[in-house]
Amino acid sequence: MRRFGRQCRGQGKVFVTLVRQTETQLLTTGRQVGGLAQAAQAQVQSAGQLAEDQRIRLATQLKVALAAHQQIATQSQRLTQGKSLSQCKIVNAYDPTIAPICKGKSNCPTQFGRKPGLIAEPASGFIFAFALPVGNPADPSYVVPLVDKVQHAIGQVASRPTLAIHSLAGELALNDSKLRETLHGRGILTVGIPQTVEPLTPAPTPEEIRRMLHEAGLPHQRTPHQVQLACAAGYSRPVVESIIASLLGRGAARITYKGQRGAIVQIGMAVMAHNAATVRRIHQDRLSKRAQKFRRLLRLKRHKANEFKDSKN
Amino acid sequence: MRMLRHLQYWLTGGGPHIRVADFVPETHPVRQWADTFPWAGLVAAVERSVAQRFPTPTARGRAPVATRVLLALELLKHELHCSDEQICSQLRTDLAVMYACGIGEVQVDGSQGHFVLPEVLAQFRSRLDAAVMDELLALQAAAAMEAGLVSPAHLVVDTFPSEQGSQRVNDAATLYKAKKKSSRSSGISPITAPPRARR
């Protein structure tokens, strides 16, 4: 997993004592919230001047606010009793969906934020889909929803019905054997899983190709040529880093929109802006030699620079 | 000189319309970037989603800002790394931004009927949700695949961290800082005081 910043050690004892003291104070202050909320609920129900839909909206908002308070109170009680917290602990009272994005030691400060997942074409860097789950789930849980989204996008292509996902490469996400079986069941080869310390060869021998097809159980669905292409594409950290850097430069580095929905909108817009820039690069043929070679092998269209003559606006 | 006078006229007074596309070169990066989007499909998807979840707007008051303009502004904001205020300000004066927003012609007077307030952009954003974002990205990917520019055959999957911006300081951090500050200001003890330089 990619992380940012430097992990530095903090003063653990000070923080633990301080957190316990603060939580006790917060619990004492928050005791009044329950009573006040009940009174407010009764007032909303009895207010005759409010329209029905307005009353329903206010009651719903109050209910949501109370649920948030209940979550925070439960966490505070666990902290004052010295019990450990569950995996998705609340770190911001105003946005319970923010989670620690890396799991460190208890006496080290950790960053809070989100961990978007993306699925992209390695040749050009075009991102087909992204996922932004609540909290910080394990990496393998990202893969199947992302593949589903790509297949939904493929379903919308009318003029080229033969499109399909042949292979998927990943560093951490594809180490899970159950996930690999799921992907093989869908006819997708998985590459980039290092079984030894030696790096994967980009040009496998016919024996290795046969072995890969046999292990995946796809000797009749995938051809040796597709395996060769999958190995050539492989998993390259610099390629992934360049896609991530482009997204970070387009505002995906810091989530400033509010809540989970806001984070999805922000990441989504950054991804779409990145994709448009990628398509522009493809039109202008401003791609790396590796990408150009890969595109030739995939028989993808090569645009000329003067194709922007007609305005599409 | 004639063109300059024409532009000055647009900035200060009333007059004929300007065709925005005539003033933005075909090689302009923003124009090329904007031309890659399948705008009709994206706008239809947003309008369909909003119509399903929100009440229909009334016909009273000022005419609403087009979805095409708001969607383009939101995307441009990320491409040009601007704030809401900055991108809305650019829309008033930057012809490339106007082109990207699908504004074909601009009234050559100072009234600037095409302006968008940052609050309107924020309101538009609040109406977008996860489903519509997935739909928009799927439409963009489908358009690129349809044109034969990209292929989903061989893909790579990964995750990356996004920091939480403008995070509010919690009570524990405030107390910790206050404690540290008070201990500093209470005076330096003779043990920890730095030794004086000898003459």
pLDDT of residue A303: 57
**Strands B162-164, A254-255: parallel, antiparallel or unpaired by DSSP?**
parallel
What is chain A's mean pLDDT, rounded?
A: 80
How, if at all, do strands B105-107 and B17-19 pair? antiparallel
| B79-106 tens-digit pLDDT | 999 999 999 999 988 999 999 999 888 8
Nearest to B113 by CA among B3, B5, B18: B18
In the numeric block, the tokens 């995938």 are attached to A222
Give the chain A residue nearest B37 (alpha carbons): A276
Which CA distances in Å does B138 have to A126, A157, A163, A272, B145?
A: 12, 10, 14, 10, 10
Q: How confident is the model at residue A254 (pLDDT cuts 50, 70, 90)?
A: confident
| Secondary structure element (H or E) that encloses residue B18, with its range | strand B17-19
Give which of A293, A247, A249, A290 is closest to A271, Cα–Cα. Answer: A247
Name beta bridge partners: B164. A255
Helix axes B67-79, B84-93, angle to 10 degrees: 110
| pLDDT for the residue B9 | 38
Residue to test with chain A: of B35, B54, B160, B180, most A Cβ within 10 A: B160
Length of chain A as a residue count = 313
Q: Do A256 and B165 touch (CB under 8 A)?
A: yes
Q: Which residues of A touch B35 (CB under 8 A)?
A: 308, 311-313
Per-residue pLDDT tens digits for B35-83: 999 999 999 999 999 998 888 777 777 778 899 999 999 999 999 999 9
Say if residues A173 and A142 touch (Cβ distance below 8 Å): yes
Distance, in angstroms, between A61 CA and closest chain B CA?
16
- Cβ distance of A169 and B157 shorter than 8 Å: yes
Position B61, amino acid: G
Best of B156, B168, B177 to disrupt the A interface by mutation (most A CBs within 10 Å)? B156
Q: What is the pLDDT of residue B7?
A: 42
Output the 3-class SS for A32-48. HHHHHHHHHHHHHHHCC
User: Which pair of tokens denotes residue A270?
Assistant: 């950054």
Q: Which of B33, B154, B158 is facing A277, going by the closest CB pair?
A: B33
Minimum distance, in Å, between the CA of residue A79 and any CA atom of chain B: 13
Asked which of A135-144, A207-216, B127-136 is least confident by mean pLDDT, the reply is: A207-216
Interface ipTM > 0.90: no
**Which of A118-127, A133-142, B174-183 reaches the highest mean pLDDT?**
A118-127
Report pLDDT digits (tens) over A36-95.
Answer: 888 888 888 888 888 888 888 888 888 888 888 888 888 888 878 777 766 667 777 777
- Ramachandran class of A192: left when φ > 0, alpha when ψ lies in -120 to 50, beta otherwise: left
Closest CA to B102 of A310, A241, A312, A81: A312
In the predicted model, is pLDDT for residue B15 greater than 70?
Answer: no
Q: Could you tell me if A2 lies within 8 Å of chain B, comparing CB atoms?
A: yes
Contact between A110 and A102 (Cβ < 8 Å) = yes
**Arithmetic mean of pLDDT, A201-211:** 77
| Amino acid in the structure at residue B70 | L
Element (H, E) at A79: helix A52-80
What pLDDT is stored for residue B6 in this prediction?
A: 39
- pLDDT of A136: 80
Confidence of residue A288 (pLDDT cuts 50, 70, 90): confident
Q: Which of the four pLDDT bands, split at 50, 70 and 90, describes residue A269?
A: very high
Q: Pick the closest to residue B91 from B109, B108, B77 (CA basis).
A: B77
